[in-house]
Structure 1
Amino acid sequence: MVRYYQRRNYVQPIRIERQDIFQKFDVDPVVHSLNERGYANGWEIPEEYVSRIVQYTKDTKFLKYWNPHRECEAIDQIARNEKLVEIARQYLGAEPILWLSQLKWSFGDQASKEERQGLLSSNNEPEQHDGDAFHYDTLDFKSLTIFIYLTDVDASCGPHVLIENTHNAKSFRDICQIILSDTAARQRFGDRIKVILGKKGTMLFEETSTFHKASRCQTKRLMLSIDYVLQRSPPPEHPVLA
């Protein structure tokens, strides 16, 4: 299927940003880890970009944003960064499409009312399955998601959890049921379950068909996600969400 996209690739190359944001990592180790494990971590975005994105949320005051790269220059520069686009290109095996970006605040019971107050909301959010349960997504035949923590994330902040090496061939049971309970996950995969903790700026690359979930958030978390796909058309225009 990837060879088909390579031969019949009508996708215009992504407009890239050439700022050397990520001086401390190379493309090849990230692509290798994605192929072998379904994810790659250990990298960060610069503090300057964290601050600019957080300031964007303070200025606009929404709980959740649909395609914020269209409005926030810092997010657009990250999504179109030359190295990140090259990682997507090499991993997907063809010219990638910048399909979707999302920016979301999560609050738990320990978050103060002051932190929640003033954030705008709407009822336009598309229905999604429970992100707190293990699941996998099929955005395309092959796809890549980059997650970026914009607040410090410890065990109380709703860290991202994934199951290593579940991006390859799925069982018939997994194809029929994309939701996996915590009990079933522990029984089947044991120590392959990885909890991703990190300070603000932490970056995670993940094959989107890897089993993953968001832990229950007790305090607060701000996270950005950026999706790259092979052929699927970008979603239609959508208002800012909450």
Structure 2
Amino acid sequence: MLDASTSKPNDLETIARSGGAFRRMAARIPTYLTDLRENPAWLPMFLLARTMPFRKAHWLTARPVRSSASAAPSMFGDLRAEAVAAELRRTGIATGLTLPAPIQTEIARFGQETPCFGNFDRKLEFLAGEHADAERRFGRTILSGHHFERVLHCDAALAVQRDPLLLDVARHYLGGEAKLITTRTWWSFPTKSASEADLSRASFKFHFDLDDWRMLKFFFYLSDVDADAGPHVYVRGSHNRRRMKHQLTLLVGHPAEEVLGFYGEDSALTLTGKAGTGFVEDPFGFHMGTLAKQSPRLMMEVGFGVSKPSERRYHGEPVIR
């Protein structure tokens, strides 16, 4: 069962205050330029989708959809897409999704048996169970391990990706043009050697995603996630209201005290739960992954958007100079 509690992640305040934001933006310039060459429409989205007037104008173009009463059977039971979409519109996040045990077990086995790539770097390849050895072997702190396109060889992951409820929810929330953008699985690892610079490059501060004008992401815990295993945190209501300061900056990451000071400390939802626990959110709302302190976390994401997905690289993979 999902435990969604309100909390202010005080132990991440130092991380949230850390500098280097503009250095991180500079490091992403090759990725941004490649995105622009591939899709010139990316630039106006990147610049304008962070502002509420342009964002609301784009939402007005969403194609309406009909009732999903005749939708195909789903592995998630009798959840109604309209009800999930209504909760998303209200708070930006909806809980109550649970993977069937055989599906969760198969994807978790895939995560254990399939080599991942550390810190988005394909040169850092290792099995999750060999994380400590990998840090010694590569001489680097490794906070994450992504499977990239290898997840597409996992039949159970594909079954989740294709489940009719997910697309039905996406269409009721994003509009009839909603389409699958990405499916990914990744590990978050506890480590004793992380520096402030390592942590500042990760997603351990409140941020919002700007991959598309309108997006929706389903998340599933594939391992048990408690307070020490890197639970996800979402700021309810921040998907449809935005401080002017947060609209006019090119930075998407902001200190916890700044975000919670505006949206309210009680708006922060910390999501813990057993393996198989799932939820769906509008990633334009402020969210973050917390640091795994004791146990590694295996997670799956299925993302939907309204624009053509990139065919150049797998989700989240940067272009290196």
> How would you bin the TM-score normalised by the shorter chain?
0.7 to 0.9
State the match for 2:296 in structure 1.
220
State the match for 2:3 in structure 1.
none
User: Which of 181, 186, 203 lines up with 2:260 in the alignment?
Assistant: 186
User: For 2:289 and 2:274, how far apart are their aligned partners in 1?
Assistant: 16
TM-superposed deviation, 1:3? 4.8
Amino acid at match of 1:151: S
Which has the larger displacement, 35-44 or 225-234?
Answer: 225-234
User: Which of 87, 90, 100 lines up with 2:169 in the alignment?
Assistant: 87
User: Which of 272, 284, 292 lines up with 1:209 in the alignment?
Assistant: 284
TM-superposed deviation, 1:170? 2.2
Matched position secondary structure for 1:76: helix
TM-superposed deviation, 1:157? 0.3
State the match for 1:11 in structure 2.
none
Asked if structure 1 preserves the Cα contact closer than 8 Å seen for 2:94 and 2:280, the reply is yes
State the match for 1:233 in structure 2.
309
State the match for 1:123 in structure 2.
none
TM-superposed deviation, 1:69? 4.7
Matched position secondary structure for 1:191: helix
**Pair 1:49 & 2:103 matched:** yes
Is the radius of gyration larger for structure 1 or structure 2? 2
Structure 2's unaligned 5+ residue stretches are 1-57, 65-70, 117-144, 193-199
Aligned-residue CA RMSD (Å): 2.4
State the match for 1:32 in structure 2.
86
Amino acid at match of 2:261: Q
Go from structure 1 to structure 2 and tell me whether the alpha carbon gap of 1:196 and 1:3 turns closer, same or farther (over 3 Å shift).
Answer: same
1:115-148 Cα distance to aligned partner (Å, 9 max, x none)? xxxxxxxxxxxxx953101000012111100110
User: For 2:315 and 2:176, how far apart are their aligned partners in 1?
Assistant: 30
Go from structure 1 to structure 2 and tell me whether the alpha carbon gap of 1:184 and 1:2 turns closer, same or farther (over 3 Å shift).
Answer: closer
User: For 1:193 and 1:160, how far apart are their aligned partners in 2?
Assistant: 10
Amino acid at match of 1:89: R
Percent identity over paired residues = 24
Which has the larger displacement, 143-152 or 51-60?
Answer: 51-60
Go from structure 1 to structure 2 and tell me whether the alpha carbon gap of 1:5 and 1:42 turns closer, same or farther (over 3 Å shift).
Answer: closer
Give the number of equivalent residue pairs.
Answer: 215
**Pair 1:134 & 2:191 matched:** no
Amino acid at match of 2:179: I
Go from structure 1 to structure 2 and tell me whether the alpha carbon gap of 1:201 and 1:187 turns closer, same or farther (over 3 Å shift).
Answer: same
State the match for 2:179 in structure 1.
97
**Pair 1:199 & 2:271 matched:** no
Amino acid at match of 2:312: P
Matched position secondary structure for 2:103: helix
Give the structure with the higher percent helix: 2
Structure 1's unaligned 5+ residue stretches are 8-16, 111-127
Go from structure 1 to structure 2 and tell me whether the alpha carbon gap of 1:83 and 1:102 turns closer, same or farther (over 3 Å shift).
Answer: same
Which has the larger displacement, 205-214 or 170-179?
Answer: 170-179
Which has the larger displacement, 66-75 or 220-229?
Answer: 66-75
State the match for 2:28 in structure 1.
none
TM-superposed deviation, 1:59? 2.8
